[in-house]
């Protein structure tokens, strides 16, 4: 049984469950308290706070875990990243009060007090750039600290920057970019137990990666005049070039199937129309394994 630590609540929990569901690992809650769940087959989920997941994985209480890269880095534990899940995207930034006029870290005077829920990453960042600071650890809402007079600047996560703006703060530097990651400590565990668990873990990575890869692609089908096939090939590169299929009683048309980037579907349809294509159909892809 491979045990995977997943966030029990918070920003990442919903999307993590959705991803596992899409990969065919439906989270089935056992009992009324959602502390653990069967993921089907050889996987079991345990639900803990995102912040605790690096420790659980590093200590071997779970074989793998999903949490924010910011939390993995802050924990200082040596974990191996198996997969970037491409959601929970945010940045750890340094922010100063708007009215301070500070636009870069070089302009921050003296030894500022830094309010942050990320003391370790903040300390190493300011050490790296050769600045003396006093760290004021807070567990949340760091953005109000400068207004309360308990800090001069803050280091906190942001995705859109709106919380900072609303609180009269301006971003002056980015320390780290983060997304949710699947991490493990298995590379460091004794080789004896490797085989079965490593195989299961590799399969898990493959399943999740195939869902992530499919999310921003679409499967497109169109009936194409045979005379336009060469031009259509330029519009529809596909994974290995488009698939061309005969249509029964299709006359001068053949069917063409291809995988396209979701972001280019709009443009592609217009280009196919211009080439005289008909019966254009676009569908989502559940999984994609190249
Ligand atoms: P939680 O505290 O359980 O809600 O999870 C917070 C995690 O969500 C962080 O450690 C980040 O990895 C991620 N995250 C994504 N966007 C943001 C954001 N704008 N603010 C805070 N955390 C974010």
Provide the pLDDT for residue 190.
Answer: 56
pLDDT value at 211 more than 70: yes
Question: Could you tell me if the CB of 117 is within 6 A of ligand 1?
Answer: no
**Nearest-CA residue for atom 4 of ligand 1:** 10
Question: Could you tell me if the CB of 157 is within 6 A of ligand 1?
Answer: yes
pLDDT value at 188 more than 80: no
Provide the pLDDT for residue 32.
Answer: 54
Give the mutation target among 15, 53, 68, 120 for probing the ligand 1 site: most ligand atoms within 8 A of CB.
68
Higher-confidence position of 41 and 118: 118
Tell me the whole-structure pTM to 2 decimals: 0.90
Higher-confidence position of 4 and 27: 4
pLDDT band at 209 (very low <50, low <70, confident <90, very high): very high
Query: How many CB atoms are closer than 10 A to CB 124?
Result: 14
Taking residues 182-192, report their average pLDDT: 71
**Nearest-CA residue for atom 3 of ligand 1:** 10
CA 162 to centroid of ligand 1, rounded, Å: 14
Question: Could you tell me if the CB of 178 is within 6 A of ligand 1?
Answer: yes
pLDDT value at 217 more than 90: yes
Provide the pLDDT for residue 189.
Answer: 54
CA 30 to centroid of ligand 1, rounded, Å: 27
Give the mutation target among 5, 12, 93 for probing the ligand 1 site: most ligand atoms within 8 A of CB.
12
Provide the pLDDT for residue 28.
Answer: 74
CA 21 to centroid of ligand 1, rounded, Å: 21
Question: Could you tell me if the CB of 70 is within 6 A of ligand 1?
Answer: yes
CA 238 to centroid of ligand 1, rounded, Å: 35
Taking residues 216-242, report their average pLDDT: 89
pLDDT value at 194 more than 80: no
Q: What is the pLDDT of residues 22-56, one digit of tens each?
A: 998 888 766 555 566 666 678 889 999 999 999 99
Question: Could you tell me if the CB of 268 is within 6 A of ligand 1?
Answer: no
Q: Which atom of ligand 1 is found nearest the CA of 71? A: 10
pLDDT band at 70 (very low <50, low <70, confident <90, very high): very high
DSSP string, the chain: -EEEEEESSSTTHHHHHHHHHHTT---EE-SSSTTEEE-STTEEEEEE-GGGHHHHHHTTSSSEEEEEHHHHHHHT---EEEEE---S-EEEEEEEEGGGT--SGGG--SS-EEEES-HHHHHHHHHHTT---EEEE-SS-GGGHHHHTS-SEEEEEESSSHHHHHTTEEEEEEEEEE-EEEEE-GGGS-GGGHHHHHHHHHHHHHHHHHHHHHHTEEEEEEEEEGGGHHHHHHH--TTTS-EEEE-TT-TTEEEEEEEEEGGGHHHHHHHHHHTT-EEEEEEE-S----
Question: Could you tell me if the CB of 256 is within 6 A of ligand 1?
Answer: no
Percent of the chain having pLDDT more than 70? 92
Taking residues 151-166, report their average pLDDT: 93
Question: Could you tell me if the CB of 54 is within 6 A of ligand 1?
Answer: no
Cβ(170)–Cβ(105) below 8 Å:
no
Task: Report the alpha-carbon angle 199-201-205, nearest 5.
Answer: 115
């Amino acid at each position: 049984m491979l045990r995977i630590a997943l966030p029990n609540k918070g920003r990442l929990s919903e999307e993590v469950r959705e991803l596992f569901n899409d990969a065919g690992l439906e989270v089935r809650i056992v009992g009324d308290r959602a502390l653990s769940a069967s993921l089907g087959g050889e996987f079991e989920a345990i639900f803990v706070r995102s912040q605790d997941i690096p420790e659980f994985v590093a200590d071997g209480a779970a074989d793998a875990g999903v949490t924010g890269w910011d939390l993995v880095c802050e924990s200082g534990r040596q974990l191996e990243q198996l997969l970037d899940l491409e959601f929970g995207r945010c940045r750890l930034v340094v922010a100063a009060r708007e009215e301070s006029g500070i636009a870069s870290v070089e302009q921050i005077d003296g030894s500022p007090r830094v309010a942050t829920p990320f003391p370790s990453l903040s300390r190493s960042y300011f050490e790296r750039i050769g600045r003396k600071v006093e760290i004021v650890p807070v567990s949340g809402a760091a953005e109000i600290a400068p207004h309360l007079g308990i800090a001069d600047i803050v280091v906190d996560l942001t995705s859109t920057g709106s919380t900072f703006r609303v609180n009269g703060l301006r971003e002056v530097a980015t320390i780290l970019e983060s997304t949710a990651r699947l991490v493990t400590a298995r590379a460091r565990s004794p080789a004896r137990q490797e085989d079965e668990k490593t195989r299961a873990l590799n399969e898990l990575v493959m399943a999740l990666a195939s869902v992530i890869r499919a999310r921003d692609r679409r499967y497109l089908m169109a009936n194409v005049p045979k005379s336009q096939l060469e031009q259509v090939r330029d519009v529809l590169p596909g994974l290995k070039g488009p698939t061309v299929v005969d249509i029964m009683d299709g006359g001068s048309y053949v069917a063409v199937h291809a995988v396209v980037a979701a972001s280019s579907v709009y443009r592609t349809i217009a280009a196919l129309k211009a080439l005289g294509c008909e019966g254009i159909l676009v569908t989502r892809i559940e999984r994609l394994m190249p």
